[in-house]
């Protein structure tokens, strides 16, 4: 009887471990990316569900940062992969006050200086007490099913595949058209 119970416990543990391993790194996240929403720079509510079937690159952006020139690369990426990728910029003023403008000022800057037509959100917090739900999902493994992270600076990039899985994130120094990012676009 002791051996039967021990065998059943080993069998159950093996089954659980096997199923965890089978789920692998691309298992569905605990919270669906497609359940997330945000307000775009024009004040319209948007849902990530709109982008189902496309890869999504989320970037916290700022107009007065040393990395601001990356707007150009982000637009080129959006243009080059328009059928496979959606770029969404999330303006944020949490890093050295480098995005002080209003939504209208941000939009005007992006269109006049960089001819941006990829999607921009309203200004948000990417960390702290008022962290936006999109960044809460991006930075918490318990929600995204992939990894914990913290946003270190402006122009940090998060890549979500066409199935809504967080695949990787890249710090500011990784340029938008880096092979680290473009190799993920399928």
Domains (ranges, CATH) in the chain? 32-182 (3.40.30.10)
- Distance between CA 128 and CA 92 in Å, rounded? 12
| 38-90 pLDDT per residue, tens | 999 999 999 999 999 999 999 999 999 999 999 999 999 999 999 999 999 99
DSSP for residue 1: -
Cα–Cα dist 26/164, whole Å: 10
Q: Is the pLDDT of residue 130 over 50?
A: yes
Catalytic residue among 36, 62, 65, 160: 65
Parallel, antiparallel, or unpaired for β 166-170 and 157-160?
A: antiparallel
- Res. 2: pLDDT tops 70: no
Residue listed under structure tokens 């051996």: 3
> Are the C-beta atoms of 122 and 139 separated by less than 8 Å?
no
First to last CA, the chain: 54
Which residue, chain included where needed, has tokens 């209003």? 102
110 tagged catalytic: no
121, 88 in Cβ contact below 8 A?
A: yes
- β partners of residue 170: 157
**37 forms bridges with which residues in the sheet?**
47
Nearest to 90 by CA among 29, 156, 147, 140: 156
């Amino acid at each position: 009887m002791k051996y039967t119970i021990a065998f059943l416990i080993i069998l159950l543990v093996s089954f659980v471990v096997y199923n965890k391993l089978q789920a692998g790194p691309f298992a569905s996240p605990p919270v669906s990316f497609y359940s997330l929403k945000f307000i775009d720079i024009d004040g319209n509510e948007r849902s990530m569900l709109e982008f189902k079937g496309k890869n999504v690159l989320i970037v916290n952006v700022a107009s007065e940062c040393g990395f601001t020139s990356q707007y150009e690369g982000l637009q080129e990426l959006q243009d080059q992969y328009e059928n496979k990728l959606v770029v969404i910029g999330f303006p944020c003023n949490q890093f050295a006050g480098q995005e002080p403008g209003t939504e209208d000022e941000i939009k005007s800057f992006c269109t006049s200086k960089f001819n941006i037509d990829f999607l921009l959100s309203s200004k948000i917090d990417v960390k702290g007490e008022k962290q936006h739900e999109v960044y809460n999902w991006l930075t918490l493994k318990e929600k995204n099913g992939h990894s914990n992270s913290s946003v270190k600076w402006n122009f940090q990039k998060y890549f979500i595949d066409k199935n809504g899985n967080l695949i990787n994130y890249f710090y500011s120094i990784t340029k938008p058209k880096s092979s680290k990012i473009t190799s993920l676009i399928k």
